Chains A and B, each alone.
Chain A
């Protein structure tokens, strides 16, 4: 029966995705409930506390952004061999991802986001690639780690091998690299961690950038606004 086949197949796929929860989960939940502070306080106290916390958080974020160094990445074509003025990686940055094969995200976006700059920079402990967009962040990003640095160009299908030991493929959907960008599409950085960045696709709204990295390809990726940009840090 088609319905049962579909349900069974889907159930099998779901089972593969989820597995079973760890046996410790009920104890973990019970323990977290037991350790909560008394929760029956009057609502107005909770309201005042929430307002104070919100004000503190907003204050910290505003002050943090004001004090944050804004020019930590360098323009394309000006690779540096010395560390920047920023002495240590920002502790507020996301942690590096080393295991697993890929990462992705999607956001509300313009039809096509125009890349208008690729910037690279080196910092103590990591190298950075910044992809800047002119008119908003694109629809989706995906980062795939791979062993080796051989990538396939699209749509031609040629094999290209980058400098470095391992690779990261950055797939940007809903973007182009030719409307606003006129710089190099193959950046050899000379850095310790991120050694080469090369465009392998710019076709029908999909941009793929191949990254050649020297180490284990641990990376952290996040977006920033004003201007809109995707930032990828490769751990040294």
Chain B
């Protein structure tokens, strides 16, 4: 089914660009999961992450002309909209508070304790520092897609990934990060 979808993507994009919302929904459906994971890490709140992805989908549909039918740029373009939506959600939430959804349980298992330091270190990064880490280490995007999502050059993207990763593990070398 995935292969079939990949083959159909140019036609779906053409139809979506012509105003067919169903085609657009089919196109972005495989991107909702990575979009959600990105948002959940940036916002540290699962429910807000789903809201952000929904809102980003609507914005992507409204701005689809920006892509000029380039189906290969759809994923980084959509993820960059999700990231922007998360930034906006955070700004809005500052008028109330920013909630940390997943407070570590005091009944953590041994397995959890092994990664808890990393977890805490990750939560200390600001969301824009977490973003390149999610894209590179979690969503496994190639460097050029990370760069397009961040809207920076590949060299700058590499630098951001390394800088953020080094804040998690100070002895990390460049070779270990890539």
Contact = CB atoms under 8 A, between A and B. Distances in A.
B176 A3 contact: yes
11 contacts: A9-B114, A10-B168, A17-B119, A21-B53, A30-B22, A33-B21, A95-B96, A103-B97, A103-B98, A105-B94, A221-B96
Interface residues of A, number: 44
Interface stretch (B6-14, B29-37, B67-75, B145-153): B29-37
Contacts, number: 138
A9 B96 contact: no
A222 B57 contact: no
A114 B32 CA distance: 45
A36 to B, nearest CB: 7
Contacts of B28: 29
B138 to A, nearest CB: 4
B118 A9 contact: yes
Nearest to B100: A102
A157 interface: no
Contacts of A105: 94, 97-98
Interface string B60-102: 0110000000000000000000000000000000111111111
A6 B99 CA distance: 27
A10 B137 contact: yes
Contacts of B49: 18, 21
A32 B138 contact: no
B159 interface: no
B24 to A, nearest CB: 7
B142 interface: no
Counting chain B CB atoms within 10 Å of each CB, which of A18, A26, A39 scores highest?
A: A18
Contacts of A19: 40, 46
Majority secondary structure of chain B interface residues (helix, strand, loop or mixed): helix
Given A20-B33, A33-B58, A97-B97, 4 more contacts: A9-B118, A10-B133, A19-B46, A222-B96
Nearest to B112: A16
Nearest to B133: A10
A233 B26 CA distance: 45
A94 B61 contact: no
Contacts of A222: 94-97
Contact of B61 (A3, A26, A39, A143): A39
B21 A29 contact: no
6 closest A-B pairs (Cβ-Cβ)?
A: A94-B96, A101-B103, A103-B97, A18-B40, A21-B36, A14-B138
Contacts of B113: none
Contact of B40 (A17, A28, A101, A143): A17
Contacts of B32: 21, 25-26, 29
